[in-house]
Amino acid sequence: MTNYQQLFERFNSLTILVIGDVMIDAYMWGKVDRISPEAPVPVLTSTKREHRFGGAANVALNVQALGATPILCSVIGNDDKADIFHQLLQNNQLTDKGILSDSSRITTTKTRIISGTQHLLRIDEEVTKPLHEQLQERFFAHIANVISNDKIDAIIFEDYDKGAITPSIISRVVELAKSKNIPTLVDPKKRNFMSYHGVTLFKPNFKELSEGLKMEVDKKNYDAIFEAAREINRQLGARYTMTTLSERGVLITDGEVYAAIPAEIRNIADVSGAGDTVISVASLCLALGLAPKEIAAISNLAGGLGCETVGVVPVNKKQLLEECLKKL
């Protein structure tokens, strides 16, 4: 029997490197009470603005909420939004040692315009092309420097297809991690899906699994999902593939056998951010050497808890511990 109280205390000793695409989620709230005389569009009288972490930065917040120390590694621009990003790091007591600025990029920002509860518009400011070769060299050297100067217990690749993660970065970081016995985890997206060779744990959702393999997979059939996940293990040489299945729970496999963990019945308020919670919890459990079925079970509970809260909110460590003690 796992001593969950002790396990959750051990989270506090871990340092997790989060490599990926960071972004700012910006919000502008206001009130619409007239139509513009210039065009048939609503006029928003702005009453409030807010900036929050998005993308890989949200994974760092989840790792931090669990008691561990996250180090974010990403490339942002040399722009006014970069100043906001660094301020968010300070506000959340996160180090900037892994952040690289470069004038060839812009700091990804997604601005949502909201009137009351009505989402009117989203404006995306981003560059999504991969880092150019010289910048890739700088970024890898930057990552390698962090790994050599800090005791890293696990590395998460948090890929949003915004260009910070490239096949070259992946292969070199995985090779370096293997040389230091550091487990690697991946939350993949489409562009680099089949580039994560040799990682420890590959975590697609069901849609990413079927689209990445270009296979029709029956979501109601765990055996069929296992066959698809086993193909991922074979092609990538991953030790584990853990597929999140929303209302069907989680399936994890080492390529030989699988464990399917059904989802808990919950009052679902918002599924956004659940994947970030799952990969964060999985990284800590993997770093502490838990068995795959237990990694999946704890991660599944965490993802479910995240869906009960509106908005992208980091996991509640105390609440997750209570769930583990009650249900596992």
pLDDT tens-digit map of 164-192: 999 999 999 999 999 999 999 999 999 99
Domain limits of the chain? 4-22+55-104+127-327
pLDDT by residue (tens digit) across 222-237?
999 999 999 999 999 9
pTM: 0.95
Give the pLDDT score at 87.
98
pLDDT at 313 over 80: no
* Single-letter residue type at 8: F
Give the whole-angstrom CA distance, residue 167 versus residue 226: 26
**Annotated catalytic residue within 21, 153, 187, 276:** 276
The pLDDT of residue 271 is above 50: no
Q: pLDDT digit string (tens) for 9-62?
A: 999 999 999 999 999 999 999 999 999 999 999 999 999 999 999 999 999 999
**CA distance linking residue 35 with residue 28, whole number of Å:** 18
Q: With contact defined as beta carbons under 8 Å apart, do 21 and 104 qualify?
A: no
The answer to whether the CB of 300 falls within 8 A of the CB of 263 is yes
Q: Indicate whether 261 pLDDT > 70.
A: yes
Whether residue 269 is predicted with pLDDT greater than 50 in this model: the reply is no
Tell me if 284 sits within 8 A of 68, measured CB to CB: yes
276 tagged catalytic: yes
Apex CA 211: angle with CA 206 and CA 214, to 5°? 125
| CATH fold label, 4-22+55-104+127-327 | UDP-N-acetylmuramoyl-L-alanine:D-glutamate ligase (3.40.1190)
Residue partners of 139: CB distance under 8 A and separation at least 6: 73, 75, 100, 131, 164, 169
pLDDT of residue 305: 86
43: part of which helix (H) or strand (E)? Answer: strand 42-55
Q: What whole-number percentage of the chain has pLDDT above 70? A: 95
pLDDT in tens, 299-310: 999 988 866 665
